[in-house]
Chain A
Amino acid sequence: MRRKVGVKEIEDMALGATVLGAGGGGDPYVGKLMAIEAIRKYGDVELISVDEVPDDEIVVVSQMMGAPTIMVEKICSGLEPMATYDEMVKELGREPYAIYAVEAGGVNSTIPFILGATRQIPVVDCDLMGRAFPELQMTTLGINGVKGMPAVLADEKGNTVTVRAIDDRWLERIARQATSVMGGYTILASYMCTGKQLKEYAIRDTPTLCEKIGRTLREAREQHEDPIDAVLGVTNGYRLFKGKVVDVERNTDGMFVRGRAVVDGLEADKGSQLIINFQNENIIALKDGEAVCTSPDLIMSLDMESGTPVTTEGLKYGARIVVVGMPCDPQWRTENGLAVVGPRTFGYDLDYVPVEELAAQLVAADTTDDEA
């Protein structure tokens, strides 16, 4: 179903993208402003469904990589996405049918709309993560053997770098180094694939889901309804814990921010404690020592009153939050998927159990408590 995405849709999408950021993904604020400016100048962007891309046509990703905190200070020239696109066309020898987003969570949710508006190229309603993840190879194309090659990087000065690496891990390494030299972040064209591959492997309708989450949050606030119920309704999520942040630890090694937040229970959760471990994104949530949600399922903190998503950066003592868990795309729950984004990848010696099952156990445990 084709439809137009304008300023209002981008506003909602950016808010929803923070929820799908699972605590990380970079603040979508600057990305949102860049997309809005391009739309004001060149017009609305056409959003098309995965099924509208013919099997033999090709599509490419438009994204940023590097430090979102640098983009907040050194804003794009706005020409980078077009530079990467033009180099990509040269490299491939043909024009892509459309472009799409690599991750629906965080700042990358809005980046394709800069190129989409400026060149009036359709954006496909899908992504390759269904959330935010910290590394470039953590995509549903990657786990299915589709390589991210070639990739073109551009900076605001006009430099471009085309990377033809042997696999996604090499792409990640080379692109990270180039990005550092080029000024801390770059805009990329990457993950070329066919319409057929997209239909098989992409995660569908995630930009629309972002927009829906943002719109639902906004409307719930305007109508004084419970914003958290509203978010859970559109994401099939679960309330995991309600409490107050009593401690936050953070360490950074330049690329990742690792740490944990300790949340003391309130109301029904009084007497219990939840610990959220994060590495840019929230990775694992433990209630009284037992896992209640783990990567690749999404863990997100929402402000208890307003439902505003609270990123790991925003977590601080005294914040009153509801921690929610949302199921990830089924592709991440396969053996190949868990090998790349399961709890063990992040250093936790735990088997992955889907959030639906863990949430059902939570409810069962609460009922037993009540009976006892």
Chain B
Amino acid sequence: MTSEKRTWRLGIDVGGTNTDAVVIDGDLQLVAATKSPTTEDVMSGIEAAMHEVIRQIGPDAAKNIGFAMLGTTHCTNAIVERKRLNKVAAVRVGAPATTAVSCMADWPDELKQAMRVQDFLVHGGHEFDGREISELSVEELREVARIIADEGYESVAITSVFSPVSDAHEQRAAAIMRDALGDDFPISISSEIGSLGFLERENASILNAALHDVAITTADSFEAALAAEGLTDVAVYLGQNDGTLMSVEYAKRYPIFTIACGPTNSIRGASFLTKVKDAVVVDIGGTTTDVGVLSHGFPRESMVAVEIGDVRTNFRMPDLVSVGLGGGSIVRQHEDGSVTVGPDSVGYRVTKDALCFGGDVLTATDIVVAKGLVEGVGDPALVEGVDPALADAAYTEITRIIEDAVDAMKTSAGDVTVILVGGGSILSPSHLEGAGEVLRPENFGVANAIGSAIAQVSGQITKVFSLAETPRDQAIAESKERACAEAIAAGANPETVEVIEVEDIPMAYLGDALCIRVKAVGDLML
């Protein structure tokens, strides 16, 4: 790179209704922003939004862009649509254990067929305390590798019993696969993806393995779209669901971590815009409201099994509640006089179909316009006919939905700070029950794309230790070291990497076992 550093960032976030794009300069100031409808193929919506922000800043300023960040729904869509998924060999290491439930036993039949997965079982795996169930069978693994090569499987998922306690057999199994199939053969290792809960972790690993090509095409087509705008030689990152970024190389190994990165981008964006590090973030879009928790500057993670396309998984996901409230939510009065808002919505057509925009559907947006609570949205004259009693009832309902969702995400009874973001956040009152301060930052409408643009790079490790073998202090020190190394591997500047979260979770029934989770974060290598 020459004397003038290209420090501007292009951030894009694909939502259910809109695709948002922003450009941020070297001092992290917003210089351009746009919203455009999300398209069915996703990529053309990305191209349109990107084209618009580049047009806003002009070709000369565009030369300052050195980084491009994309938070996208490609992987989620591929699973939901059952398209473009790789042919996976699912290798289970655990015989004689685990045979009572076959691989993918609880998957929807139609997804199972679309997935083209072949399962293999080999001897190995560990007990809860780190002893071996049986010796790892190298012979069986070599035979599996031979079949994979002969029958053209494209990706391997390896899941070993109690690998969150000891990953030794998974790592050796992966080495045997690489030996036979080549260093570039995509291998998903379950302990790097999910936590305790064998079937859920196996499921997550299989999905991850199946998404390999989707990750590659996403990254490639994003790079091609950038090139079409004259943006060659920019560093490309994909958003992941802990609110941080990963390099393209990393994303190809862990595509599943891109799932649900949108809401986490909003949470990070909300933190950036308000400088607040602990709060409940309410992101109101066109159709849904996502409520998440900002904890020490990052989204709080869910501790329970999460379903992806009707498949139970346990990889890290943000802790969110989604409710059917957005700017386009349809308002109805029922025969008994009760008033409901949503969950169905006119979506991105709100600017055509809503009464205040000259349409004929009474939406949540019309309610706040009719009550005179917002300015500059639609034409207030068009909603003069809305019955004030109906408007009051609908507004009470909107407030109740938001307050309930906020309350469900709180971990204690005290008042919390609430940050409102998203285009639909005009719906929310400035006072909410159970909330102390309610913040509505400037540029709230594109907080998600800003979150994508300003994101840092993280590394995370979740591992179960036996305290009899490893004292707690040593276990934490080891985990910290590994988390920092992960962050650097994912593209963080080693000088800026710091540990931001250490959590130890005693495991019920597991005696002296302790699960340690450490997260490290660093700035992008500029």
**A binding-site residues for B, Cβ under 8 Å:** 30, 33-34, 36-38, 66-70, 72-79, 114, 156-158, 180, 183-184, 244, 246-247, 252, 254-255, 257, 264, 313-314, 316-318
Q: How far is the CA of A306 from the CA of B95 in the complex (A)?
A: 39
Residue on B with the closest CB to A314?
Answer: B304
Which residues of B lie under 8 Å from residue A254 when comparing CB positions? 509-512
State whether A69 touches B507 (Cβ < 8 A).
yes
| A34-B100, A72-B199 known, 18 other contacts, Cβ within 8 Å | A30-B101, A30-B199, A33-B101, A36-B105, A37-B101, A38-B100, A69-B509, A70-B128, A74-B133, A75-B94, A76-B97, A76-B99, A246-B413, A252-B507, A254-B510, A264-B413, A317-B410, A317-B412
Is B408 on the interface with A (CB-CB < 8 A)? yes
A12 vs B413: C-alpha distance in the bound complex, in angstroms? 36
Residues of B within 8 A of A183 (CB): 127-128, 131, 133
Q: Is B508 an interface residue (CB 8 A)?
A: yes
Out of A33, A157, A317, name the residue touching B411 (CB < 8 Å). A317
Instruction: Determine if B125 is an interface residue (Cβ-Cβ < 8 Å).
Output: yes
**Would you give the shortest CB distance from A47 to chain B, in whole angstroms?**
21
Residues of A within 8 A of B413 (CB): 246-247, 264, 317
Q: Which of B98, B508, B509, B512 contacts A74 (CB 8 A)?
A: B98
Contact partners of B199 in chain A: CB under 8 A = 30, 33, 72, 75
Task: Judge whether A255 and B161 touch: CB under 8 Å.
Answer: no
CB-defined A-B contacts under 8 Å, sample of 17? A34-B100, A37-B101, A38-B100, A67-B509, A68-B509, A69-B196, A72-B196, A74-B97, A74-B125, A75-B97, A75-B99, A76-B100, A78-B99, A114-B100, A183-B131, A257-B509, A318-B407
Nearest first, the 6 A-B pairs at minimum CB distance are A78-B100, A67-B509, A76-B100, A156-B97, A34-B100, A75-B98
Contact B98 A77, beta carbon cutoff 8 Å: yes
* Given A37-B105, A184-B509, A318-B410, CB of A73 within 8 Å of CB of B96: no
Q: Which listed residue (B100, B162, B409, B508) contacts A252, Cβ 8 A?
A: B508
Of all chain A residues, the one with the shortest Cβ separation from B407 is: A318
Closest Cβ neighbor of B98 among chain A residues: A75
Interface centre among B128, B131, B407 (most CB of A within 10 A): B128
Tell me the bound Cα distance from A34 to B161 in angstroms: 17
- A316 vs chain B, min Cβ distance (A): 8
Query: In the complex, which residues 82-119 of chain B have their Cβ closer than 8 Å to any Cβ of chain A?
Result: 94-102, 105-106
Per-position 1/0 for B56-82, Cβ under 8 A of A: 000000000000000000000000000
| Nearest chain A residue, comparing its CB with the CB of B164 | A73
Chain B interface mostly: loop
For A252, the closest partner residue in chain B by CB is B508
B102 neighbours in A (Cβ, 8 Å): 37
Tally of contact residues, B, Cβ under 8 A: 39
- Cα distance A40–B127 in the bound complex, in angstroms: 29
Chain A residue at minimal CB-CB distance from B196: A73
Of B105, B162, B511, the contact of A73 (CB 8 Å cutoff)? B162
A37 contacts across to B, CB distance below 8 A: 100-102, 105
Are A252 and B506 in touch, CB under 8 angstroms?
yes
A196, chain B: closest CB distance, angstroms: 34
Measured CB to CB, the nearest residue on chain B to A78 is B100
Interface 1/0 per residue, B190-219 and A, CB below 8 Å? 000000111100000000000000000000
- Chain B residues 365-412 with CB under 8 Å of chain A are 407-412
The answer to whether B134 has its CB under 8 Å from any CB of chain A is yes
CB distance from A177 to the nearest CB of B (A): 13
Docked complex Cα distance between A36 and B407 (Å): 38
Cα separation A316 to B196 with both chains bound (whole Å)? 20
Query: B510 contacts A67, CB within 8 Å?
Result: yes
Q: Which residues on A sit within 8 Å (CB–CB) of B100? A: 33-34, 37-38, 75-78, 114
In contact, A69 and B101 (Cβ under 8 angstroms): no
| B residues in contact (CB < 8 Å) with A | 94-102, 105-106, 125, 127-129, 131, 133-134, 161-162, 196-199, 304, 407-413, 506-512
Chain A residues whose CB sits within 8 angstroms of the CB of B509 once the complex forms: 66-70, 184, 252, 254-255, 257
Residue from the list A67, A72, A76, A78 in contact with B197, Cβ < 8 A: A72
Whether B128 contacts A34 by the Cβ 8 Å rule is: no
In the docked arrangement, what's the CA distance between A67 and B128, Å?
10
Q: Is the CB of A157 within 8 A of B96?
A: yes
Report the bound CA distance from A246 to B510 in whole Å: 27
Task: Report yes or no: A77 in contact with B96, Cβ–Cβ below 8 A.
Answer: yes
Across the interface, do A69 and B510 meet the contact criterion of CB distance under 8 Å? Answer: yes
Query: In the complex, A330 Cα to B94 Cα: how many Å?
Result: 44
CB-CB under 8 A from B508, the residues of chain A are: 67, 69, 252, 257, 313
B464 to chain A, nearest CB (A): 10
B196: chain A residues within 8 A (beta carbon): 69, 72-73
In this complex, which of B99, B407, B408, B509 has the most chain A Cβ atoms within 10 angstroms of its Cβ?
A: B509
Q: Which of A36, A74, A79 contacts B161 (CB 8 A)?
A: A74
CA distance A168 to B407 in the complex (A): 47
A75:B96 contact, CB within 8 angstroms: no
Interfacial chain B residues near A246, Cβ < 8 Å: 412-413
A34–B101 CB distance below 8 A: yes
User: How far apart are the CA atoms of A78 and B199 in the complex, in Å?
Assistant: 15
The CA of A264 and the CA of B407, in the complex, are separated in Å by 13
Collect the chain B residues with CB atoms within 8 Å of residue A76's CB: 97-100
Distance in Å: Cβ of A253 to nearest Cβ of chain B: 9
B198 touches A33 (CB 8 A): no
Taking a contact as CB atoms closer than 8 A, the residue among A30, A74, A316, A317 that contacts B128 in the complex is: A74
Shortest CB–CB separation between residue B84 and chain A, in angstroms? 29
CB distance from A81 to the nearest CB of B (A): 9
B307 to chain A, nearest CB (A): 13
* A residues near B106, Cβ cutoff 8 Å: 33
Nearest opposing residue in chain B for A254, CB measure: B511
> How far is B134's CA from A264's CA once the two chains are assembled, in angstroms?
50
Q: Complex formed: what's the CA distance from A23 to B107 in Å?
A: 27
Known interface pairs A156-B96, A157-B134; A72-B198 also in contact (CB < 8 Å): yes
Chain A residue nearest in CB terms to B94: A74
Chain A residues, CB < 8 A from B304: 314
Alpha-carbon distance A209/B407, docked complex (angstroms)? 36
Judge whether B407 and A74 touch: CB under 8 Å: no
Nearest-Cβ distance from residue B240 to partner chain A, whole angstroms:
25
Q: Give the Cβ gap from A280 to chain B, nearest Cβ, in Å.
A: 9
The distance in angstroms between the C-alpha atoms of A30 and B198, with both chains bound, is 10
Q: In whole angstroms, what is the CA distance A75 to B196 when docked?
A: 12
Contacting pair B507 A75 (CB below 8 A): no
Write out the residue numbers on chain A whose beta carbons fall within 8 Å of the beta carbon of B161: 73-74
Complex contacts, B408 vs chain A, CB 8 Å: 318
Chain A CB within 10 Å, residue with most, of B96, B197, B198, B410: B96
Query: How many Å lie between the Cα of A66 and that of B94 in the bound state?
Result: 20
Inside 8 A of B94's CB, which chain A residues have their CB? 74-75
- Given the complex of chains A and B, what is the CA–CA distance between A194 and B286 in angstroms? 66
- Shortest Cβ gap from A35 to chain B (Å): 9
Q: How far is the CA of A72 from the CA of B196 in the complex (A)?
A: 8
Looking at the assembled complex, report how far the CB atom of A72 sits from the nearest CB atom of chain B, in whole angstroms: 5
* A70-B510, A74-B127, A77-B98 known; A156+B198 contact, CB < 8 A: no
A30 to B312, CA, bound (A): 12
CA–CA, A180 and B506, complex, Å: 18
Residue of chain A at shortest CB distance from B195: A73
User: In the complex, what's the smallest C-beta–C-beta distance from A32 to chain B, in angstroms?
Assistant: 9
Residues of chain B with a CB closer than 8 A to A33's CB:
100-101, 105-106, 199
Determine the chain B residues whose CB is within 8 A of the CB of A316 once the complex forms.
Answer: 411
